[in-house]
Structure 1
């Protein structure tokens, strides 16, 4: 009698658990996993805790890389509300991006804001780094020989 009761209880519990686990699987509508692109290799390099903000010449060229999962048509860079004109080179596993800083940044600090979207899914990513642009007059003074 005890064995019959035990088997009956096991069958009832198993019957209650089976349908719930079967309904949990959704074979027809599997969501794609989201992989956000990554920005790396900033030029000039990012400021670290022990280093000063990197200084660049006026209208200097900056650069960075973006992982290959990014959609190259969605890569954007902005400095002080000025969109940068990007040159994007496909290196197979990543994108090499370069841009020239606008003249209006002469003698100012500027944060370069970066955005990109993944090729698959709706994953978006943001990043950026701070730079200091030298004044045009300061650059000429440094270039002039001292007497």
Structure 2
């Protein structure tokens, strides 16, 4: 009789813990056993920009060219740049697996420090990036 009660309690406890374990695994973002991929359509690789030219705090002339490389970008049209909050036209060239992105500083900016601010828009806020660097514009 005791053995049957213990067996019944063991069965009930195990049945109650399975949904909890499944929920914890499902919400953790890890792949689930039994087939689910654990990924959704909104999953993305975070964009990355680097190799800023000219270097941070470099002295440059008005209208000088700047460039950087962008990784994990599906569409270069999602990349925007501003210099002292002035939008700058960009040209992107694909060099597998990244883009080389180039632009020019506004010619009217003289004798000032300016931040080149790069923003990459994505489907969700997890897929967005904002980064930049400072240059000293002379003349």
Is the shorter-chain TM-score for this pair beyond 0.5, marking a shared fold? yes
**CA contact 1:80–1:111 (8 Å) conserved in 2:** yes
CA distance in structure 1 between the aligned counterparts of 2:64 and 2:115, rounded to whole angstroms: 14
TM-score normalised by structure 2 residue count: 0.78
Q: Superposed, which structure 2 residues align to 1:4-83 within 5 Å?
A: 4-21=4-21, 25=26, 30-31=39-40, 32-46=42-56, 53-83=57-87
Give TM-score scaled by structure 1 length.
Answer: 0.75
Q: Show structure 1 runs of 5+ residues with no match.
A: 47-52, 136-147
Structure 2 unaligned blocks of 5 or more: 28-35
In the other structure, the counterpart of 2:135 is 131
Matched residues, number: 127
Q: Which moved more, 1:32-41 or 1:97-106?
A: 32-41
CA RMSD of aligned residues (A): 2.4
Kept after mapping to 1: 8 A contact 2:46/2:72: no
Residues 61, 98 of structure 1: 8 Å contact kept: yes
1:109 corresponds in structure 2 to: 113
Are 1:36 and 1:117, in contact at CA under 8 Å, matched by a contact in 2? no
1:100 corresponds in structure 2 to 104
| Aligned equivalent of 2:90 | 86
Highest Rg: 1 or 2?
Answer: 1
Matched residue, 2:30: none
Secondary structure at the counterpart of residue 10 of structure 1: helix
